[in-house]
Amino acid sequence: MTSFALIQSAAERVSQHARVTPLLCSPMLDMIAGRHLLVKAECLQHTGSFKFRGGWAAVSALKPDALKRGVLAYSSGNHAQGVATAAKAFGAPAVIIMPKDAPDLKINNTRALGAEVILYDRAGGESREAVGETIAQKRDLTLIRPYDDPQVIAGQGTVGLEIADQASELGIREAEVLVCCGGGGLSAGIALALEKRAPQMRVRPVEPKGFEDMARSLKQHEVTSNSKLTGSICDAILTPRPGQLTFPILTRLAGSGIVVSDEDALCAMALAYQHLKIVLEPGGAVALAAALFHGAAIQTDAVIAVATGGNVSTEIFQKALTLLPDCERRYTQ
C-alpha cells in the first residue's frame, strides 16, 4: 500500500534523477480560465512525461537479482519510456508490451532506449494485462504495472510534493489540483502527497469524454469499466477501469471527476503552445483543458493543472495548431 512515507522514500531515490519541473502561468490563460491558473509542466520531465518518476521509483526499489533478470511493462508509451530509461540506468533488461496503435514516436523512443518492444492489438480486444503477465512469468521478469503498483504510485506522488512546495512559495495554499487521469496512479500519488503537505488542496481527476471510468466510478462509489478502449486522441490515458490500488485512495481523497472533449484537449494544446511555450500531447492536456474550459466545475480561486506529457505525433500537434485561431476566438470573446 502506498503511504506518505513510501512517497518520501521514493523522493529520496528519484529526486537526484528527475527534473523539478516548473509551475508556469500566463496572464492570457488566467483570463481564459477566469482565475489564477498554474501549470505543472511535466512534459519537461525526462522522457517527456511524469512517468519517468514512477518508473524510476519502481526499478530503483528492486533487489539486485531482480534487476539482473529484468523488468516488463505494458504501456501506451510514456510508462514504457519511464521504465525503459530506469532499467537502462540500472543495467536491467526491459521488455515493453505496447498497443499497435500507439504513436510511432513513443514506440521508436522506447526501442531507442534499448528495450525489447512487443506489440499487441488493443482495438482487437487483446488484454495487455494478460499478454504482459504471461510473458513476465515465462521469462521470469518483474512486472511493473503502470498504476497499480505501490512504488509507481509513490514515484508519481513526488509531483505532489513539488506542487505543494512550489505553490507555497507563491503564497498559494488552497487550490484544486487537476490531474490527467488514466488508471489513477498520478492522481492517487499526488492526492496522498497533498493530504500531508497541502491539506487545503484537493485532486480532481480529468478524463476524455467516453473514457470517464474514474469520474463515473467515483460518483457511483464502485469501480466501473469503459465500454471501449479506443476512439479518443488521448491515447496516453485510455485505460479500461480505475486501478485496484488507486481507486480506494481517490475515493477517500479526490473530488469529483471532470470530463473534456478531444477538441477541448486540442485547444488546450494550442493555447499551451502559444502562451506557455510548451508541447503537450492530448492526454497530457486534458487537465489544462478542464481548467480553461470547464471553470464552472472548479471551486477554488486558484487552480493547478498538471500537464502530464508531451509525446505527441506531429500530425496531431499540427492539427492543434490549425485550430489555434478558432480556439482563441472561442474562448477570448
Rounded to a whole number of angstroms, the minimum distance from the CB of residue 169 to its own copies is 11
Residues between 15 and 34 that touch its own copies (CB under 8 A): 19-22, 24, 28
Q: In what order do the strands lie in the sheet with 258-260?
A: 23-24, 36-41, 302-307, 175-180, 201-208, 258-260
Rounded to a whole number of angstroms, the minimum distance from the CB of residue 22 to its own copies is 6
Choose among 151, 144, 143: nearest CA to 57: 151
Nearer to its own copies, 195 or 328 (CB): 328
According to CB under 8 A, which one of 7, 10, 40, 48 is a site residue for its own copies?
A: 48
Per-residue 3-state assignment (H helix, E strand, C coil) for 314-325 = HHHHHHHHHHHH
Contact flags string 163-202 toward its own copies, x per CB under 8 A: ----------------------------------------
Residues between 293 and 312 that touch its own copies (CB under 8 A): 310
Backbone dihedral region for residue 331 (phi beyond 0: left; psi -120 to 50: alpha; all else: beta): alpha
According to CB under 8 A, which one of 5, 64, 104, 112 is a site residue for its own copies?
A: 112
Rounded to a whole number of angstroms, the minimum distance from the CB of residue 212 to its own copies is 26
Total residues contacting its own copies by CB under 8 A comes to 25
Contact flags string 313-332 toward its own copies, x per CB under 8 A: -x--xx--x--x--------
Rounded to a whole number of angstroms, the minimum distance from the CB of residue 111 to its own copies is 13
Strands 175-180, 201-208: pairing is parallel
For 141, the grid coordinates are 521478469
- Burial class for 5, CB neighbours closer than 10 Å (0-12, 13-18, 19+): exposed
Contact flags string 81-110 toward its own copies, x per CB under 8 A: ------------------------x-----
Rounded to a whole number of angstroms, the minimum distance from the CB of residue 279 to its own copies is 4
Rounded to a whole number of angstroms, the minimum distance from the CB of residue 48 to its own copies is 6
Nearer to its own copies, 66 or 321 (CB): 321
DSSP letter at 99 equals: E
According to CB under 8 A, which one of 29, 154, 279, 285 is a site residue for its own copies?
A: 279
Nearer to its own copies, 42 or 176 (CB): 42
Q: Which residues pair with 304 in a beta bridge?
A: 38, 177
Rounded to a whole number of angstroms, the minimum distance from the CB of residue 314 to its own copies is 5
* Cα 232–Cα 233–Cα 237 angle in degrees, nearest 5: 80
Choose among 210, 74, 236: nearest CA to 148: 74
Q: What are phi and psi of 205, to 5 degrees?
A: -70, 140
Q: Taking each helix axis from N to C terminus, what angle separates 104-112 and 78-89, rounded to the nearest 10 degrees? A: 10
According to CB under 8 A, which one of 274, 294, 295, 297 is a site residue for its own copies?
A: 274
Q: What are phi and psi of 290, to 5 degrees?
A: -65, -45
Segment contacting its own copies by CB under 8 A, of 1-9, 226-234, 254-262, 278-286? 278-286
Q: What are phi and psi of 264, to 5 degrees?
A: -55, -45
**Torsion (CA) 204, 237, 141, 134 in degrees, nearest 10:** 120
Which parts of this chain interact with its own copies (CB under 8 A)? Answer: 19-22, 24, 28, 41, 43-44, 48, 105, 112, 273-274, 276-280, 310, 314, 317-318, 321, 324
